[in-house]
């Protein structure tokens, strides 16, 4: 074991402790998968990441660094807030991109491109692994688990870009915030819920606060059903679904974490064939860890 540089960052917020925290070990070389998983479980955070040099194949394809992403109990091929938080920590520690204005991250799903949008970082959403409508049996089960009528689910789709998200749209942000899901009914499902705020869609505009949607994310945790404060992978997939289906404008901001006392803001934008997912990131802890 040795001392390794470490950051704890808060993602999708300009206010420390109001977004989604992430542990970043800046030098993951020599660590076993078991050691990475053990450290992640010890942090009690939703994710921890470990930065590594790119593989030879990744370097040849333009990768600046490689990241392994862990959540309690498992390694993830991709996740949004760890992507932004890892890039923030890498740049802050002196990382130099091979191409000005672009950072290329290698992870389980392949290469993910990031860019700087003013004071925010943004990543190009990876392609969906699975899309299209959910099975009706799943929709009925989700409605029961959320405690709403089946008719309250206006639209639904697979939003799978690594994590197996199922997305549903309810009638309003207020309804989304009032949810009290039943973990026993939803056991084994990763569910993303989105509700319109203000006037949205192909002819709508956002409300006075500039927020188009309220989002919540529920998933199986170590002690039952958990809720994620702010979820980059889910918002990326939701944007691909909602913009593609004409249910959201090509540029919008989503709010997430309100029900948990957070103030997450996710900036979504379609540019050509790409969906860019952006947010602010702040460092809350700098130091070293023994690993």
Residues with active-site annotation: 47
Question: Residue 94 class from Cβ within 10 Å (0-12 exposed, 13-18 middle, 19+ buried)?
Answer: exposed
Distances in Å between the alpha carbon of 188 and those of 76, 90, 127?
16, 34, 23
Residues 6+ apart with CB under 8 A from 223: none
Hey, which bits of the chain come out as E strands? 3-11, 20-25, 48-52, 65-71, 74-76, 102-107, 110-117, 120-124, 155-160, 164-169, 190-196, 213-221, 224-228, 251-256, 264-271, 274-279, 281-290
* Alpha-carbon torsion angle 121, 127, 133, 139, nearest 10: -50
User: What does 41-68 look like in DSSP terms, one character per residue?
Assistant: HHHTSS-EEEEEPPPHHHHHTT-SEEEE
Distances in Å between the alpha carbon of 72 and those of 46, 136, 163, 203?
7, 30, 14, 41
Closest residue by Cα to residue 71 from 211, 187, 233: 233
């Amino acid at each position: 074991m040795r001392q390794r540089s470490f950051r704890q960052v808060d993602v999708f917020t300009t206010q420390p402790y109001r977004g989604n925290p992430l542990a970043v070990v800046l030098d993951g070389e020599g660590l076993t998968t078991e050691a990475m998983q053990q450290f992640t479980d010890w942090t009690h955070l939703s994710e921890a990441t470990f930065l590594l040099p790119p593989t030879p194949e990744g370097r040849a394809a333009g990768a600046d660094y490689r990241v392994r992403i862990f959540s309690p109990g498992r390694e993830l091929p991709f996740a949004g807030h760890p992507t932004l938080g890892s890039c923030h920590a890498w740049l802050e520690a002196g990382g130099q991109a091979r191409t000005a204005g672009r950072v290329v991250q290698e992870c389980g799903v392949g290469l993910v491109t990031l860019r700087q949008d003013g004071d925010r970082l943004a990543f190009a959403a990876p392609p969906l692994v699975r899309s299209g409508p959910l099975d009706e049996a799943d929709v009925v089960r989700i409605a029961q688990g959320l405690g709403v009528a089946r008719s309250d689910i206006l639209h639904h789709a697979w939003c799978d870009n690594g994590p197996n998200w199922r997305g549903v749209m309810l009638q309003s942000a207020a309804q989304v915030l009032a949810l009290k899901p039943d973990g026993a009914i939803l056991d084994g499902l990763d569910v993303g819920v989105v509700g319109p705020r203000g006037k949205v869609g192909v002819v709508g505009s956002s409300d006075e606060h500039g927020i188009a949607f309220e989002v919540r994310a529920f998933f199986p945790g170590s002690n039952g059903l958990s809720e994620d404060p702010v979820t980059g992978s889910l918002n990326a997939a939701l944007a691909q679904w909602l913009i593609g289906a004409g249910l959201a404008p090509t540029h919008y901001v989503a709010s997430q974490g309100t029900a948990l006392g957070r103030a997450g803001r996710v900036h979504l934008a379609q540019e050509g064939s790409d969906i860019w997912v952006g947010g602010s990131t702040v460092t809350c802890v700098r130091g070293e860890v023994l690993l």
